[in-house]
Amino acid sequence: MSLAAISPGGPFSDLLFDDGPFDDAGRSSESDSWLMSYLDMLMLLITFFVLMLALYGGQLVDRDLETPAVTALPLQIPATRPPAPLPAATVGEFYRPPRQLAPAPLASDAGFYSPGPAAAPEKRVATVPMVFSVPLFDLPDPTPAAALPQIDGVEITAIPHGFNLRIQDHLLFDSSAVGLSDNGRQLVERLIPTLQAFKGTISVEGHTDSVPISTSRFPSNWELSAARASAVVRVLRLAGIDGDRLRAIGYASTHPLASNHTPAGRASNRRVELVLQEPDSPTP
């Protein structure tokens, strides 16, 4: 091919210079413009991740350091014991059951249960006695009651903080009388040594039945019961017992022991009681 053919004015000039394969500079510059935007976006993403790593990287490292290390415990696997080998059977030998089983022994009452050796007795711990105790009822010591004389006709009972000596009125007074009879005075004198040894108060209480009385001297049973109690107190005072310890009280028929509808009940209600109270006991 001659130079004239490839010159700009030649027949191949259109192919080589106008629309040739090397004439695409304008088109490549326009089609490659997206590549710059893509590279900018990648640069921004890389910068963002580097910034995030710089901000939170130290915290992640510290958190990993604070996490306690887990120490692996040694795993102990119990040694397994291999099963015992079965006895090798002889070739051609089979199991032969016993010809006759031995009978089980019969149970009997004697010797069926054989207890083991006797256990040693338990050691009991010594208990410490209580320092104090709270009684349900504050009753006096029964020992002084045994020291009181046993006199016929005198009923002695223990009461809180003292004793009660009950005497029927026929043992102290004659019928419709307020002065002590000879037998009644002797009975009271037998009680004087015990009453003198007692250091508390002595209340003499007179009681009557419900039969009303109306005389010039005793308008009612109140005066009669108080007069009989005063008669006993007078004898005790003359015997040398301190008057500050003596009391004379008349209850009339307000404290009956039995029913007043029968003669036996009325006889039981006619009485004189000597109530002995300890010095420090509360006033009844």
**CA proximity to 204, closest of 281, 278, 273:** 273
Using alpha carbons, select from 219, 202, 182 the residue that is nearest to residue 284: 202
Please name the amino acid found at residue 185: R
Strand order in the sheet with 154-159: 154-159, 162-168, 271-277, 201-207, 246-252
Instruction: Quote the CA–CA distance of 267 and 207 in Å, as a whole number.
Output: 11
Region at 255 (left for phi over 0; alpha for psi -120 to 50; beta for the rest): beta
Q: Are strands 246-252 and 201-207 parallel, antiparallel or unpaired?
A: parallel
Contacts (Cβ under 8 Å, ≥6 apart) of 11: 5
Residue pLDDT tens, the chain, 284 long: 455 555 555 555 555 555 454 455 555 555 667 888 888 888 999 999 898 888 876 665 555 555 555 554 555 555 666 666 655 555 455 556 666 656 666 655 545 455 556 666 666 655 555 544 444 444 444 444 445 667 777 899 999 989 999 999 899 988 778 889 999 999 999 999 989 999 899 999 999 999 998 888 889 999 999 999 999 999 999 999 999 999 999 999 999 999 999 999 999 999 999 999 988 766 55
Identify the CA nearest to 234 among candidates 272, 277, 278, 283.
272
Q: What pTM did the predictor assign? A: 0.48
